[in-house]
Structure 1
Amino acid sequence: MSEKEVTVLPKTPRTPEEQLVWEAKAKIRLLLNLWDLGEGKAKIKKGDLTKRIVRTGEVSKDYEAVLTGLREGGAIAFSMDKRVMVVEITDVGQQVLADGLKNRDSQFEFDGSQIGTRLGNALLRWLRLQDAPVKPKPEVEIIASYERFKVVALKVYDRLNRDYNFDNLVPIYRMRRAIAERVSRSQFNEWMLEMQADRLLILQGGEMTEITSDKAEDSIKTSLGELRYYATRLTPQS
């Protein structure tokens, strides 16, 4: 049974107080449906969301103020995908949804004597997910010495070169991002230049296809201000 079949809505205009309560409920119901349709993270078509939330006796225009308020509050985000408007729930929206469903002071409740199967099942999925155990993130090894950095950097180089067929011209920005927070940016630069001085790698400039500002920033700049985009290994692969 669909939500439209079981929801009974008042035919008389709402008072200002009733409108505020309706919008508070609609906000949480909209976020719950968006969370369910997108499985908590995916973008969905705005039209699909509208079909899901508009009930008997309502029109999509009724939800414009609710959508605008959620967007301005950072709870949802709109974007274009192949000329189609899509919407997704943000981290802020996840928290707003959690507060609306769990907070005792929340005004959210289901209207009428019954609720639609889809909305009820969405709530069940959300509740079960909250009870699921959270896997702890594995600890990240911090690279504290040049000797350790050499080992890690060469392994990263070999893996990227093999997996992406870079033909011994591995983008430095890819190496930096693979090593990520295990070493600071300045230390990465210093130790990569030291590996070049030790004739383990050659850092090369040239041209990079589809260069962007973030790729350039994640490459290496020499003391003369010249950018080095690629690394080539001089030592044999172990």
Structure 2
Amino acid sequence: MALRNNDINHAQTRFLLALWALGGNDVKKGDLMPFATRGDEKSSDFQPIIDKLDAKDVIKITNNKFSITTSGLNLLHQCLQNQAFEYDGNVGARTVNALLRWIRAQGQPSLAMNGNGRATEPISSYEEFTEVASEIFDQLNRDYNLDNFVPIYRIRRHIGERVSRSQFNDWMLEMQANDMFEFLEGSVEDSAPDKIEDSITTKFGKLRCYAKRLKR
């Protein structure tokens, strides 16, 4: 099998867009490739592209998980600006939504972004935090098919340094008190200590690793 229309540049753009849309950091290959491929394409068809992007520091691969670099974001921007890039045939909703999110992000020139294309401006109020946390919850739930059972460490890492660790904990617990989220027990993937640390411990010393949406 080969790439669709044997178009390497098109496949490369789709790969980078999929990686960015899935969060851009520590994305599993099993989640990434179904998003990037079209039609009869196989994951193996993309290996030369992946090798090239890795060698040029456009992406980082660690333990078979993919992250996009600042160079990768710049390349993706250039590729999407290229008038030769267009889709033939039907395009799935997930791809369309990814393109819409990219367009909206580019439409906010004053918004500070980090190397993964995420906002870095500080969150200054609980109200703003609820909007951001809810949006991230919805994105993770949708992109990873998590069935309303989203790891708290993923929400924390997406928000990053926009709030302090203690402020994140306080505002998340306030969202639970306001019946926006319910926090649940459970084991994170690989029982990794860093993922457990990035979960939440309640005021009663109970570890909670997952968030469930109660109301919007």
Give the alignment's TM-score, normalised by structure 1: 0.43
Question: TM-score normalised to the size of structure 2?
Answer: 0.48
Which structure has the bigger radius of gyration? 1
